[in-house]
Amino acid sequence: MVVSQQVFDSLRQIGLNLYERKLWVALLMRGTATAGELSSLAKVPHSRTYDVLESLSEKGFVMIQNAKPLRYMAIEPREALERSKKKIREDLNVMVDRINRFQNSSFVKELEKVYKQGVELVEPGELTSSLKGREALHQHLETLFKNAKNSISIITTADGLEDLASRHTDLLQKVSNKGIKIKIAASFNKENIPIIQKAKSFAEVRKINKPNLNGRFFIIDNSQIVLALTDDDVHPTQDLSLWTKSEHVANNFLGPLFNSLWQDLQSA
């Protein structure tokens, strides 16, 4: 039985490359086979078959039988997936432990020194980057919020406020407790009221009542800016934002614009 294209595509989504998918499905069809037999059945180059089967074994999808020539045995699909999950967790824990040890070592100080020296050589206009996808946006916001020294000013939409609260409430609460001044100007409706009440524990929140004002931007320490270039309706993967480190823009344009709007808004 040949699996459907939908099943084949789904195997790619769980991390199996093309040759791994072909060989595993071929092995499931045979139960046990040699590399040569699987190469012919799956139409995978013989020169690649051994290393791909080794990879499948390491991931928990295949068992290698100690025979001459080597034979490979399929593992029942549900069990193979459980083994794969276990292996991924183990590898992740090992890698996280390595990163933690490296993070606490003297090597990081050396890298930070290199980074600071490099940044000092960069022209201010070069400290700009696009952020493709909402995940990239929130990862960068997390870094900016975490490293804020004085202030965070936010203009956002109702959906943006909900997204902000679900992803950054704990972090914003921490930085607020350290004395960082947080201001949030947002459009919101009745559904957002519980979020507003929670946000008021770490920020001053004011409501935007102007229907033609519908956007998202963030100013951190009057020096770094993140500006969303797309609206809330785009797919999260197509969300596009611009980050720049520019005291000129923060202090002479967007900062005064935010302060002017802020004065006209009522507390939430």
**CATH C-level class of 5-77:** mainly alpha
Q: What mean pLDDT is reported for the chain?
A: 89
13-30 mean pLDDT: 92
pLDDT band at 57 (very low <50, low <70, confident <90, very high): very high
Q: What residues does CATH 3.30.870.10 cover in the chain?
A: 127-267
**Residue 65 pLDDT greater than 90, yes or no:** no
Measured CA to CA, the distance from residue 165 to residue 196 in angstroms comes to: 9
Rounded to 10°, the helix 106-120/77-103 angle is 80
Residues of the chain within CATH 1.10.10.10 domain(s) are 5-77
Largest CA distance in the chain: 82
Q: Please give the Cα distance from 37 to 205 (Å, whole number).
A: 67
Domain 127-267: give its CATH architecture.
2-Layer Sandwich (3.30)
Token pair, residue 27, equals 């092995």
- What pTM value is reported for the model? 0.63
